[in-house]
Amino acid sequence: MSRAFNFCAGPAMLPEAVLKQAQSEMLDWRGTGMSVMEMSHRSDEFVEIAETAEKDLRELAGISDDYAVLFMQGGASSQFSSIPLNLLGEKTSADYVNTGIWSKKAIAEAKRYGNVNVVASAEDSGFASIPDQSAWTTSADAAYLHYTPNETIGGLEFDFVPESGSVPLVADLSSTILSRPLDVSKFGLIYAGAQKNIGPSGLVVVIIRKDLLGKARKETPTMMNYQVIADNDSMYNTPATYSWYLAGLVFQWLKEQGGVQAMAELNSRKAKKLYDFIDGSDFYANPIAARFRSWMNIPFTLADDGLNGAFLKGADARGLLNLKGHRSVGGMRASIYNAMPEAGVDALIQYMAEFAKERG
């Protein structure tokens, strides 16, 4: 059975080499006679897996010792509440940028714990463009500035890192982490759900500057307290061991590909190919301003929505899966994370061209 090209926004396609390695180690990890799923998280074997994964992530992302790396559970959405609980401290407000559905969810959750100042919103543009930072209404006394660099549903992506001065910058990098180089030192906190560019679901990585630890409110649940998680090497309780192991395999695979710079070159090329095809067609369209188009999530519409069902049926028959757009925006969406090979994008473009010729 041949592997399909899975364009799902998450859980997303994983590198075939990683899946094969996991398959070979499923019943017996390195002669232990156990699957990683069966190991004690306190065992020397799993501690080695965990430490290697963190070391490789630090190397790939350029994370200095000034930052703690936490492997937590609950996905990125759990951080919508963890962040204000840990970072507001004695302050009463935080700044947020609204660029789409995931931003809105983060804003709604933060309002449970303090005042939220929406410094800028892309809503006036239909979430097709990002307001220039010169027009943002930031607060000098904000506990932090939160933004979503890439909105997976709408396909809107920042082409700049906001300047936040002395206010810690917080970013939801779930869909773009490790897809290109990033200066981690510009951020106070980065969080990323695993199921797009890191590994399977069930894990969220939090990269936090150490001076921001120890500020959690007293009502913060123990399992959401960054200081507690850091003090216990992300093992205060039993962590998502198998997701952590698979994430480690992905990190090793990324290093073998040449690291994030090599991935940036590949991802840029994949996105350009697909956008160039869409822009050159009178049958397909993308609604996002060219400057702010996502590298990872490319939404597109057909000239006739009535053809959506036929398009998806034909795509599935070719092994081009999960192209249906999010129900809130409709149309199609191709998510082309690190694990999507260039051949997958080429196959999608070929199918789109043939479908337009037949139905246009």
| Cis preceding linkage at 11, omega within 30 | yes
Residue 328 pLDDT > 90, yes or no? no
Residues 222-262: tens digit of each pLDDT: 999 999 999 999 999 999 999 999 999 999 999 999 999 99
Residue 342 forms part of a structural domain:
yes
Q: Which domain CATH number covers 30?
A: 3.40.640.10
243 and 281 together in one domain:
no
193 and 137 together in one domain:
yes
191 and 315 together in one domain:
no
- 334, β-bridge pairs: 298
194 and 321 together in one domain:
no
Give residue 190's pLDDT: 98
Q: Which two tokens stand for residue 119?
A: 């410094």
Catalytic residues: 102, 172, 196
Task: Report whether 116 contacts 107 (CB < 8 A).
Answer: yes
With CA atoms as reference, report the closest residue to 240 among 223, 217, 215. 223
163 and 72 together in one domain:
yes
223 and 280 together in one domain:
no
Residue 6 forms part of a structural domain:
no
Task: Report whether 37 contacts 226 (CB < 8 A).
Answer: no
Residue 9 forms part of a structural domain:
no
Determine if residue 238 is labeled as part of a ligand binding site: yes
Residues 23-35: tens digit of each pLDDT: 999 999 999 999 9
Q: Which two tokens stand for residue 200?
A: 């399977």
Using left for φ > 0, alpha for ψ between -120 and 50, and beta otherwise, residue 339 falls in: alpha
150 and 296 together in one domain:
no
Question: Range of 146's domain?
Answer: 17-256
Determine if residue 295 is labeled as part of a ligand binding site: no
Strand 297-302 versus strand 284-285 pairing type: antiparallel
283 and 342 together in one domain:
yes
Domain tally, the chain: 2
- Full-model pTM: 0.96
Task: Report whether 216 contacts 225 (CB < 8 A).
Answer: yes
Residue 1 pLDDT > 60, yes or no? no
Give residue 16's pLDDT: 96
Give residue 4's pLDDT: 96
* For range 84-112, the mean pLDDT: 96
Helix (H) or strand (E) run with residue 191 in it: strand 189-193
Around Cβ 296, how many Cβ atoms within 10 Å? 26
Give residue 329's pLDDT: 84
Give residue 46's pLDDT: 96
Among 188, 222, 256, which residue terminates a domain? 256
Determine if residue 253 is labeled as part of a ligand binding site: no
Residue 131 pLDDT > 70, yes or no? yes
Determine if residue 237 is labeled as part of a ligand binding site: yes
232 and 267 together in one domain:
no
